[in-house]
Amino acid sequence: MNSNYIQSSAYARSLIEASLDPLFTINLMGKITDMNQAAIDVTGVSREKLQGSDFFKYFTDYDKAKLVY
């Protein structure tokens, strides 16, 4: 792999982790593919359990969140 790509990827990851706001990436099916530490802290769920879970279940109004997505 290109060392510039690796450095850019590591830098992007450090920015995401530095955010105090919970950040998630989700796929087209609404499943969580990645998250930062703030997301883990807010949900109280481990990274392993969050990954692959339904993003919408972490909202108060599941149906409204799914509709908006």
Query: How crowded is the C-beta side of 32, counted as CA atoms within 13 Å?
Result: 23
Q: Can you tell me the distance from the alpha carbon of 15 to that of 10, in angstroms, rounded to the nearest whole number?
A: 9
Q: Is the pLDDT of residue 1 over 70?
A: no
DSSP one-letter code for 35: E
- Distances in Å between the Cα of 33 and the Cα atoms of 4, 12, 30 are 24, 16, 9
The model's pTM: 0.73
State mean pLDDT over 13-31.
89
For 30-56, the pLDDT digits (tens) are 899 999 999 999 889 999 999 999 998
Give the residues across from 54 on adjacent strands. Answer: 31
